């Protein structure tokens, strides 16, 4: 084998090694609901993994899958209401009856000792600041009565 073909083979294997991966997560919300997924890929591009969920009522679904040169194949385990063990395409369904009875939603009154807290966001009344009222008397116009001058007739003896 020549040094050039050996180097090319090493580069090809390194590129394939970089193409493989693994990831996964598992989330539990603290209320008995769980969701998970994990997947890995090999250097040839084949992927295997699984995902699923379960809830507080006991309903679950788990899907394991393979995706490679032969296609996509899935294996589903569930007890979801309304599912039947039918196998569409390359999927195998494993269905169990659910032990699930939804609880009716009844009105639950608050206990007698419940007292709501006062609301602290009371609206503020607008601040009223009266303006001072200044006394403005109406102008009084002076209109005297006309005084007519009547001269007296005087008879001087000169």
CB atoms within 10 A of CB 78: 19
pLDDT tens track for 117-130? 766 666 677 777 77
**Window from 28-32, 42-46, 101-105, 142-146 with minimum mean pLDDT:** 101-105
- Output the pLDDT for position 155: 72
Summarised one tens digit per residue, pLDDT across range 40-99 is 988 888 899 999 999 888 888 889 999 888 888 888 888 888 777 776 766 777 777 766
pLDDT category at 131 given cuts 50, 70, 90 is: confident
Give residue 79's pLDDT.
85
Strands annotated E in the chain? 21-28, 34-41, 47-54, 60-68, 71-78, 91-95
Report whether pLDDT(156) > 60: yes
Average pLDDT over the chain, rounded to an integer:
77
Predicted TM-score (pTM) of this structure: 0.49
Q: What is the mean pLDDT of residues 102-110?
A: 64
Among 14-18, 61-65, 130-134, 153-157, the range of highest mean pLDDT: 61-65
The three-state secondary structure class of 25 is strand
CB 48 within 8 A of CB 63: no
């Amino acid at each position: 084998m020549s040094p050039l073909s050996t180097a090319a083979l090493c580069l090809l294997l390194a590129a394939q090694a970089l193409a493989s991966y693994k990831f996964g997560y598992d989330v539990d919300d603290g209320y008995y609901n769980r969701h998970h997924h994990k997947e890995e890929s090999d250097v040839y591009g084949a992927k295997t993994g699984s995902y699923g969920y379960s809830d507080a009522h006991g309903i679950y679904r788990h899907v394991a899958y393979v995706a490679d040169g032969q296609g996509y194949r899935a294996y589903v385990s569930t007890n979801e209401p309304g599912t039947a063990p039918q196998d569409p395409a390359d999927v195998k369904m494993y269905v169990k009856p659910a032990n699930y009875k939804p609880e009716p939603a009844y009105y639950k009154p608050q206990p007698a000792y419940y007292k709501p807290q006062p609301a602290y966001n009371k609206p503020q009344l607008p601040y009223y600041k009266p303006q001072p009222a200044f006394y403005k008397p109406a102008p009084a116009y002076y209109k005297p009565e006309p005084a007519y001058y009547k001269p007296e007739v005087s008879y001087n003896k000169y």
